[in-house]
Structure formats: C-alpha cells, structure tokens
Amino acid sequence: MPWKDTVAWTTILQAYAQAGHLRTSLFVFETMPERNVVSWTAMISAFAHSGNQMDSIQIFHAMNLEGVKPDDICFASALLACNHVGLLYRGHGYFTSMRRDHGIAPGREHYFSMADILCRAGRLESAQELIRTMPFVPEVLHWGSLLNACKLQENTKIGNKTAKHLSTLDPNDAASHVLLSNLYASLGNLGRA
C-alpha cells in the first residue's frame, strides 16, 4: 500500500508543479510520508523546468544525502539544471558519476546536455570531441547545438567541421547552412557567408 500512496502523492505534486504552483508542490513533497526516486525526480524536474535550477540542484543533493539512488531520468533533470545555469564542473561530475558510481550508461539526452554545458562554457573543442566519441551516431540536434555555439563564440574552425557533419546527416537542413552563413557574416567574411 505505501507504494500506491507514493504514486498518488507524486501525482499530486506533479499536478501542482505543472500548474505553476512550485511552493505548493514542494509542500506536498516535504509532507509525503514516503518518497522514492520518482517523487524526488518529479521535484528536481519541476524546478529545473521552471527556471529554478539552483533549487533543482539542491533537491538532487538532498536526495543523495538521504541515500536515494538516482536513475537515468533523475540525472537528465539534474544535467538540465546544470546546463541552464552553466555549471560546468558540477554537470561534468554528475555525468561521470552516472556510470562510475551508479552503473548507468548515459543516453542521448545526457550527452546532449553535457555537450551543451561544454558549449556554454566556451569549451567547443571538448564539446566537439564528446559529440564525436558518443557511443551512438550523433543527431542533427547535437551538431546543431555545437554549430550555434560556434556562431556565438565566432569560431569558424570548429564551425566549418561541424557544418560538414551536419551536411552529411541532413544535406537539406537549411538551419545549419543559415547558422554557418551567419557565423561568417558576423566576422565580416561576406564572401563565405
């Protein structure tokens, strides 16, 4: 019976969170008689998706202190929070902890968040290497995020390589051509734009 109660409580806290009532959602969470990884993840995700990333990270930390083991969905929410705040070292710590401490193989969403964290921190070469060495074929989303970071940081060297990867994945993807063109235009190289 406690499991069913936990499911009901978690559903209630998710409903409040989705309606934008985070403090009420947190109150429900704090008064739950029993919490599991799903209820913890619901709170972490609620704060991560609502612009309260530091609260999300604090809840993730509290979950670990209570001895609740995070799952892949929980790590995805924690990485999302780190991504939005630009916490490179914490995000990298979570990413490596997944496999090392919890035996969880990072998936596409985890790799995307980690690559985006690296991009936001200006570590374009590291992001490129991470995307290139993922244990699965990178998608347009992965390379597109890197190309956008190259534009923002005016890095044509990595931008060119990234655009080549994108053109092999989807030769008709207009967005990547526009991003590369905008990169050159922003540098005053209108001939290549």
pLDDT in tens, 110-138: 999 999 999 999 999 999 999 999 999 99
How far is it, in rounded angstroms, from Cα 77 to Cα 133? 23
Can you list the pairs that 183-189 forms with residues at least 24 positions away whose Cβ atoms lie under 8 Å?
Answer: 183/147, 183/150, 183/151, 183/154, 183/156, 183/159, 184/156, 186/151, 186/154, 187/154, 187/156, 189/156
Say whether pLDDT at 66 is over 50: yes
Domain ranges within the chain, ordered by starting residue: 132-193
Rounded to an integer, the average pLDDT of 71-96 is 96
Please report, for residues 36, 115, 171, the alpha-carbon distance to residue 164 in angstroms, rounded to integers and kept in the order given.
Answer: 45, 18, 9
Q: What confidence score (pLDDT) does residue 193 get?
A: 45
Confidence of residue 139 (pLDDT cuts 50, 70, 90): confident
Say whether pLDDT at 3 is over 60: no
Q: What confidence score (pLDDT) does residue 154 get?
A: 86
Rounded to an integer, the average pLDDT of 38-58 is 94
Say whether pLDDT at 10 is over 50: yes
Q: What confidence score (pLDDT) does residue 87 get?
A: 94
- Determine contact, residues 74/93, Cβ cutoff 8 Å: no
Say whether pLDDT at 192 is over 70: no
Q: What confidence score (pLDDT) does residue 191 get?
A: 53
Mean pLDDT score of the chain:
89
Letter for the amino acid at 56? Answer: S
Q: What confidence score (pLDDT) does residue 35 get?
A: 94
Q: Which residues contact 138 (CB under 8 A, 6 or more apart)?
A: 131, 132, 165, 169
How far is it, in rounded angstroms, from Cα 179 to Cα 22? 37
Q: What confidence score (pLDDT) does residue 160 get?
A: 84
Say whether pLDDT at 1 is over 50: no
